[in-house]
Amino acid sequence: MEIKSFIRNKKAILFITHHPFANPMAIAQVEEFKELGRAAGLQCEKVSYQVLKKINPATLIGTGKIQKLKETIKETQAELIVFDRSLSGIQSRNLEKELEVMIIDRNQLILDIFSQRAHTYAGKLQVELARTLDELPRMVGAWMSSLSRQGGGIGTKGPGEKAIEIDRRQVQLRAKTIRQKLEKIRRVRKGHRALRKRNNIPSIALIGYTNSGKSTLLNALTHTSAVTVKNLPFMTLDPTTRKVHISNSQNVLCTDTVGFIQNLSPHLIEAFKATLEESASADILLHVIDLSSPLMKVQMDTVNKLMLEFGWNQKPCIYVYNKMDIAPKEKVFQTNSHPKVFVSALKRTGLDKLKKTIGEVVSNIQTEEVQLYFPKNEEDKVYSLDRKAFIYKKEASSLGILCYARMGVAQLREWKDFIVKP
Ligand SMILES: Nc1nc2c(ncn2[C@@H]2O[C@H](COP(=O)(O)OP(=O)(O)OP(=O)(O)O)[C@@H](O)[C@H]2O)c(=O)[nH]1
Ligand SMILES: [Mg+2]
C-alpha cells in the first residue's frame, strides 16, 4: 500500500492568523507551525500574518487580504498555502478558486507528515483512515456550496448533488473497510500484549509532546540507536518496543510511539486508536517533557489533557524532564509534578536515577496478596502496615491479629517476618 504526500517539496506560503507579538510564547507557537512545514518537506517561501478580528465564513480572511495574497503568490510562485487553523470545506474550496493554488489547513498538514512517516501496514492504514475521516465533512461542505451556487435550497436537488452523494457513500464505505482491517490488527496486538503480561514483564510507555526526546530516551535506555531521531515533529509514528534493564534483577518493556501536539484533530486520534492502545495497555507511563522549550507548560497541559481524555490519568506516571543540558537552570524550579526525574537523553545523564525510580514504581504495582500475623505485643505495627499496604481484611484472635493484605515487592521484603504461609 502506497500513501502519497500531496505537498512534499512544494513551494508554500504559511499563513498565520495572529501576529508574532514580541512574547516568547507567541514566537514559539509560530516556530512550532514552521517546524510542521519543515517536517512535511515544504519549501517555505514566505510567512504571512493576519490577526483575524472578524471571521469571514466563506473564506476565513477578508477580500483585502485575499488580494494581497494574490500578489504574494505571484512574487513567490507559491503552489500551496497552509493555514495555521482549521478550514471548513467551503472555505478551502472558495480560497482555492480565488487564489488558484492548493489550500490546506493545519490538520491536513499534520496528516501529510503522518503519511510520509507511516512505514508499517498498520501505520499506513491509520493514516488512510484519518484522511478519509477528514475528507467526509469537506465533501458535505462542497455539497452545500454547490447548492448555494445553484441558488438551490433545502428540498431542491441541484445537478451534481447526486454525484457528490455517491462519492460520499464510497468514502464512507472505504472508511468502513479500513476500520475492519484495523480491527483485525488490534485483535492480534491485544493477543501479543496478553502474552507479554503472562510473562510478567512490566511494560512502560514513553509518551509526551512531539520532539520532547522520547526516541532519544529509548535509545539511551537500550544503549542502541534503534529508533530514528531528528529535530523534527512527528519523526516517530509507528510503535517500537524494546527490553530495558533497569537493575540486575529487573527488566521492563519500553514502547516509544507517536508524540502529541496542541489541537490534534479528533479524526486523527480516532484513526490512531491501535497505536494509542500500545500506550494505553502499559503498566507505567513515562511522560517525557522538554524542559528547554518556552512552550513547556502548554506542552505539558496538552499531554495531560489528552491523558485525561484517554483515561490514562489513573496510571502510575513518572515525569521525565529532558534536555537538562540546554535548559535554563531556573526552569528546574518550575517543575512540580511527582515523581519526577531530570535527565539529558542526549548526554545520557540522570538515567540511573530514572531507572531507580522506574524500579520503585514497578515494585509498587507488582502487588501480591499475603497474610500477616501480629502477636498481641506487636499489634501496634498494624497501623504502620496500614499506611504502606492495602489491608482488605482483619481477623482478631485472643493471641494476636491476622491481616489479609496486598503489597508490592519492597513491602514484601520489609514485612517478611510477619508473613505467614496460607
Ligand atoms: N540538547 C538535547 N537535545 C535532545 C535531548 N533529547 C533529545 N534531544 C533532541 O531533540 C530532538 C528530538 O528528539 P527525538 O528523540 O526525536 O524526540 P521525540 O520525542 O521522539 O520526537 P517525535 O518522534 O518527533 O515526536 C532531536 O534533535 C534530539 O537530538 C537532550 O537531552 N538534550
Ligand atoms: Mg520519536
Whether 286 and 257 map to the same domain: the answer is yes
Share of the chain above pLDDT 90, in %: 67
- What is the band of 78 on the pLDDT scale with cuts at 50, 70, 90? very high
Asked if residue 105 is part of any domain, the answer here is yes
Average pLDDT over residues 66-86: 95
Domain boundary among 159, 184, 209: 184
Whether 108 and 125 map to the same domain: the answer is no
The answer to whether the CB of 325 is under 6 A from ligand 1 is: yes
pLDDT confidence of residue 422: 66
d(Cα 342, Cα 121) in Å, to the nearest integer? 36
Whether 143 and 275 map to the same domain: the answer is no
The answer to whether the CB of 257 is under 6 A from ligand 1 is: no
- What is the band of 184 on the pLDDT scale with cuts at 50, 70, 90? very high
Which residue range forms the structural domain that includes residue 168?
121-184
Whether 54 and 176 map to the same domain: the answer is no
Average pLDDT over residues 165-192: 91
Question: SS3 letters for 54-122?
Answer: CCECCCECCHHHHHHHHHHHHHHCCCEEEECCCCCHHHHHHHHHHHCCEEECHHHHHHHHHHHHCCCHH
Whether 179 and 266 map to the same domain: the answer is no
Whether 211 and 316 map to the same domain: the answer is yes
Grid coordinates representing 212 are 520532547
Instruction: Report the C-alpha dihedral over residues 25, 26, 27, 33, rounded to 10 degrees.
Output: 110
Asked if residue 164 is part of any domain, the answer here is yes
Domain count, the chain: 4
Question: Measured in angstroms, how far is the CA atom of residue 49 from the centroid of ligand 2?
Answer: 30
Whether 277 and 398 map to the same domain: the answer is no
305-352: per-residue pLDDT in tens? 999 999 998 899 999 999 999 999 999 999 988 999 999 999 999 999
The answer to whether the CB of 219 is under 6 A from ligand 1 is: no
d(Cα 164, Cα 389) in Å, to the nearest integer? 63
pLDDT confidence of residue 70: 97
Average pLDDT over residues 357-376: 89
Whether 297 and 383 map to the same domain: the answer is no
pLDDT confidence of residue 274: 85
Which residue's CA is the closest to the ligand 1 atom numbered 17? Answer: 213
Whether 337 and 244 map to the same domain: the answer is yes
Whether 152 and 215 map to the same domain: the answer is no
The answer to whether the CB of 116 is under 6 A from ligand 1 is: no
- What is the band of 82 on the pLDDT scale with cuts at 50, 70, 90? very high
pLDDT confidence of residue 146: 59
Average pLDDT over residues 59-76: 95
pLDDT confidence of residue 220: 98
205-228: per-residue pLDDT in tens? 999 999 999 999 999 999 999 899
